[in-house]
Every structure is written in C-alpha cells, then in structure tokens.
Amino acid sequence: MSLKRYTTKCEECKHDPNEHFFEGTDSNLYKTRKNDVKLAKEYCTEQSILHTNHKTKPIWKKCCGLLDYYQVTLKDPKAGFPSYLK
C-alpha cells in the first residue's frame, strides 16, 4: 500500500508536508487517509481508558485535513482530582 504524498504547501496554513518525513514516510496524520483516522481514533480510545474522566477528540485542520491537535474535555468537571493528587 503506498501512501499518498502531499507535495504542495497548504496556502492557508503554510504547512509544508515535505518538512515532516521520517525514514522515508510521512509522519503527519491526514483526515483523507483511512489509516490515519483509525490511528487518531485508537489514540482517543486509549486515552479514555487511561483517563476515565477525559473525553479526547481529534481536531483536523479544515484547509488541508492535517491533524491539528487533540481536544480533551472533562466528562465531569465537578469531580475534581483524585485524592492522591490533592
């Protein structure tokens, strides 16, 4: 399976995909690639298991579909911190 290589710089956010190659593969995650979306969802699932009070959601750039960041939301903000962190 060959990965689609993005060769042009995004005009809106100025992201250059050629600056993020590691050992010959693109290290960016794009919404247009099914495997990248799957990896982002798996990360969110892992985080929800590790941190039961967190909900994690991938946020993709609208211009080029690049993963921008993960949004973390507290499920119950009134619950506070566990007793061992106080």
- Each residue's pLDDT tens digit, 32-68: 889 999 999 999 999 988 988 889 999 999 988 889 9
83: which 2 tokens? 């007793």
Domain span holding position 58: 29-85
Query: Which distant-in-sequence residues (6+ apart) come within 8 Å of 66 by Cβ?
Result: 10, 13, 15, 28, 29, 30, 31, 60
pLDDT given at position 46: 94
pLDDT at 53: 84
DSSP-assigned states of every residue in 4-60: PP--S--TTT---GGG-EETTEE---BTTSHHHHHHHHHHHHHHHHH-TTEEEEEEE
In a domain, 12, yes or no: no
* 75 is a domain residue: yes
pLDDT at 19: 73
Split into its structural domains, the chain has a count of: 1
Question: Would you say residue 24 lies in a domain?
Answer: no
CA 46 from centre of chain: 13
Residue 43: inside a domain: yes
**Region 5-26 average pLDDT:** 72
Please state the pTM of the whole predicted model.
0.71
Q: What percent of the chain has pLDDT over 90?
A: 33
pLDDT at position 3, please? 44
Residue 14 falls inside a structural domain: no
